[in-house]
Amino acid sequence: MSSNGEMFSGCTVAMVTPFRDNGIDIPALRNAVDWLISEGVAGLSPAGTTGESPTLSADEHERVVATVVERAAGRVHVVAGSGSNSTAEAVRLTRFAARAGADGALLVAPYYNRPNQDGLYAHYARIAESVDLPLVLYNVPSRTGCNIEPSTVERLSRLARIVAIKEASGSLDQVSDIVSRTDLTVLSGDDSLTLPMMAVGASGVISVAANLVPKKIVAMIDAFVSGNLAKARELHGFLFPLCRALMEVAPNPIPVKTALALVGRGNGELRLPLTPLDTRTRETLSVKLTCRGLRVLEAGAGA
């Protein structure tokens, strides 16, 4: 079984992709890399689904990954999003991530196709035999329409390249089953469940909310790892309403991009078919940000 996924422990940021006039805003992307690293995160995950990967062209996807790897310059690990519902495309994207110098690749389960468990195994096995790069499975049934069952994760864990899983089924039973069956590094894919998942054996999170409040999430993980459970629970309670809001008011990454604009860390630009929040929902999100101690800027509120 794989055991070198520990390198991906801690807080890895599922990065948003900044756009300007429907193109990639490379200066903003570089600035985001520098800021997130300065806030203490352990890693960055560009060009994943939070990065609106389904609407990135092949060239844009490669530019985003290459830019983040180059700017990170080894200061933190980079786990490039390279998943697709086409196995051949996932292989191509993962090979590029390896060439670009990424430390690993994050592979969302094939969406829409809804493969059975044998299909899921064959998909990941083909990628694993095609690249020389540590691979992180990504299970998010609410978005893909299929669940990578623990028995399949156990089979996949025997492949040397597969070292970790980002688990976003929302089920602590499933997380516990994976932990008991494998020695994969398990990472939370649900910000609101990071602490509960760590309590049953997870090693960190690939986080949407860390685009916005990285230092708080790093502090919660560090508190748990150091045995300060009271501090970890306090930070979990502080973060919980914000984490839920970022997932519930609209499909990800609409809320987090809006929140970043509200606090002056982005322009909130999305790509169709994603559309901006309506005024009332935007105001609700603004209140939640203020309640969590974030300073909402007037300029951001009108962005």
- By annotation, the residues acting in catalysis are 138, 166
DSSP classification of residue 210: G
| Residue 62 near residue 100 (C-beta atoms within 8 A) | yes
79: helix, coil or strand?
strand
Question: Across-strand partners of 81?
Answer: 106
d(CA 247, CA 234): 21
Residue matched to tokens 């490379």: 26
- Give the integer Cα–Cα distance in Å for 153 and 109: 12
* Closest-CA residue to 274 (of 13, 55, 23): 55
Question: Per DSSP, which regions of 41-121 are E strands?
Answer: 43-45, 77-81, 104-108
DSSP code of 188? E
What gap in Å lies between CA 15 and CA 29, rounded to an integer?
9
Residue with tokens 């844009």: 60
DSSP state of 213: -
Partners of 20 in the beta sheet?
A: 23
The DSSP call for residue 278 is: P
Q: What is the CA radius of gyration of the chain?
A: 18
